[in-house]
Homo-oligomer: A and B are copies of this chain.
Amino acid sequence: MNKKTDLRIVRTKQSIRKAFYELIQEKGYEAITIQDIADRAMINRNTFYLHYQNKPDLLDICMNELLSELKDAVVLCPISMNPFSISMLETVMQAVLEHISLNITFYHSMLIEENRIYQFQAKMETIVKDKLIEGWNPAQGNSTLAISKELLLEYLGSSFMGIVIWWIKNNKPLPADEVSYQFSRIVAYGHLRAAGIAVEDEKK
């Protein structure tokens, strides 16, 4: 029962994906029609419906395909028992940036400019957050913390994604390891100290 998938299916699906990614970059997800995709992929419009339910369905499948790879890359990073530790932040950031580098066009389509697809960003952020709380021990912190754990996690997730998007949008202005280092440093030691600026007195 080792049934190979028909080559026609593979070929058609591939050209649909390719056309879709191109069109997202050119005119943005919302503006794309099925006919656009069919034209670009050089298939009949009906054939599209043979493989995908509709446009959101296609989007979802494409996103999950990309993000499962990202997740694999992130999962490999060693867990630190020190919650939200510096080294872990740095390692995860670097893993993410390196993975993105390998699929830069895709990520560009999904995350940059008007044409960005918000859903994708949200899914990425979830992956990052899940990783960050992996080593978190609830008994350890909650009682003594002056800072809300949820607030902290949200803060880490959103700043992480902000840096990632900035990095892609500006065409990798710094090497991945440099960004990872600076980011983890700012987050851990504070932006003033990290930037070498005298810190104000904390309340008189």
A→B interface (CB under 8 Å): 30, 82-87, 114, 116, 118-119, 141, 144-148, 150-152, 154-159, 161-163, 165-166, 170, 173-174, 179, 182-183, 185-197, 199-200, 202
Residues of chain B contacted by A199 (CB below 8 angstroms): 86, 188-189
How many protomers of this protein does the assembly include? Answer: 2
Please name 18 pairs of A and B residues whose Cβ atoms are closer than 8 Å in the assembled complex, sorted by A: A83-B197, A86-B192, A86-B200, A147-B182, A147-B194, A147-B195, A151-B183, A154-B163, A155-B159, A155-B162, A155-B186, A158-B159, A158-B162, A158-B165, A159-B159, A187-B191, A188-B192, A189-B202
Distance to closest chain B CB from A101 (angstroms): 17
Distance to closest chain B CB from A142 (angstroms): 11
Residues of chain B contacted by A144 (CB below 8 angstroms): 196
Residues of chain B contacted by A154 (CB below 8 angstroms): 162-163, 165-166
Asked if A158 and B150 sit within 8 Å, CB to CB, the answer is no
Residues of chain B contacted by A148 (CB below 8 angstroms): 173-174, 182
Sample of 19 more A-B contacts, CB < 8 Å, known A146-B194, A147-B182: A85-B200, A86-B199, A116-B118, A145-B195, A146-B195, A151-B186, A154-B165, A154-B166, A155-B159, A155-B163, A155-B186, A155-B191, A157-B162, A158-B163, A162-B162, A187-B190, A188-B200, A189-B189, A190-B193
